[in-house]
Amino acid sequence: MNNKLVPASLHKLLGVIAPVIVRIREIAAANYLALCRNNRRQHQVIAGLVCCAALTFFITLSRMQSATASLGLTTPVLIASSNIEPGDIITTQLFSLRTLPRSAVTPTALHDLQTGLVAQQSISIGELLTTTNTGTSATQQLQLPTGFRSVAIVPPAALPPMQVGDHVDIIANGVVLAADALVLSLIENTPGVIVAVQADLSAAVASAAAIGDATLVVSS
């Protein structure tokens, strides 16, 4: 376009807004560069956080492995995953297999599923399946009397002949801990029994049974 055809007023307007346009371009370029720097900074922060999270995970995992090792040997146990009622047949849908420190597992805990296993007592979710609360359909077991507690006893020496329903005295270190306790059931594949003792004596009997000091004498 011939500059002579452009009005003088338009030349004057272009002269006024030209610096403004230049300034806008400079601001836009500066903002773009700042945005790029911020993106790099965000990526650096994210990478740092990921590294910290990974480090924390490996430290926690190492501590868990050390804690597990310090507990000693472990053993698989069966834990109820549903509420089980007396008489229910124990199937794989009713329990899950867990691994626990052997020192924290009762001697009567079940380590694998046995054929024909039936609940002998009510078993709540999260409770161990044991020879106390389960048995075969042919297993004879008495109901726990009101006000009593059931305790599993596997004595260090052979037991005298006994059967479900017998009354026994529980002795430890020459002291009678509980007299006239009731034999609820015989523990399969072990010389142990499940006995019912009065609630106020159950703690002492259970402690003696846990360390293998308790033995039984059949009473008349």
The total of other beta-carbon atoms located within 10 Å of residue 154's CB is: 17
The average pLDDT across 106-125 equals 81
Share of the chain above pLDDT 90, in %: 0
Does residue 122 lie within any of the structural domains? yes
The domain tally of the chain equals 3
Domain identity same for 38 and 110: no
Q: Give the CATH number of the domain where residue 134 resides.
A: 3.90.1210.10
Model pLDDT, residue 89 = 81
Model pLDDT, residue 142 = 66
Cβ–Cβ under 8 Å, residues 120 and 133: yes
Domain identity same for 50 and 76: no
Flag whether pLDDT at 174 surpasses 50.
yes
Domain identity same for 80 and 44: no
Domain identity same for 153 and 125: no
Does residue 41 lie within any of the structural domains? yes
Domain identity same for 189 and 213: yes
Kind and range of the H or E run holding 206: helix 202-210
Model pLDDT, residue 75 = 87
The tokens for 177 are 């801990």
Which range (3-12, 86-95, 198-207, 209-218) has the least confidence? 3-12
Model pLDDT, residue 106 = 79
Residue partners of 119: CB distance under 8 A and separation at least 6: 84, 85, 86, 87, 88, 90, 133, 134
The tokens for 63 are 């501590």
Model pLDDT, residue 104 = 77
**Mean pLDDT of all residues belonging to the chain:** 77
Domain identity same for 147 and 217: yes
Q: How far apart are CA 77 and CA 200, in angstroms?
A: 29
Model pLDDT, residue 65 = 67
Q: What is the pLDDT of residues 118-153, one digit of tens each?
A: 887 788 898 888 877 787 654 556 677 788 888 888
Which range (63-72, 89-98, 181-190) has the least confidence? 63-72
Burial class (CB in 10 A: 0-12, 13-18, 19+), 144: middle
The average pLDDT across 183-191 equals 76
Does residue 20 lie within any of the structural domains? yes
Flag whether pLDDT at 84 surpasses 80.
yes
The average pLDDT across 181-200 equals 82
Does residue 1 lie within any of the structural domains? no
Q: Residue 129: which domain range?
A: 72-139
The average pLDDT across 76-104 equals 85
Does residue 111 lie within any of the structural domains? yes
Model pLDDT, residue 129 = 87
Model pLDDT, residue 1 = 46
Last residue of a domain, one of 25, 55, 70: 70
Last residue of a domain, one of 23, 50, 70: 70
Q: What is the pLDDT of residues 9-60, one digit of tens each?
A: 666 666 667 777 777 777 777 776 666 666 666 666 566 667 777 777 777 7
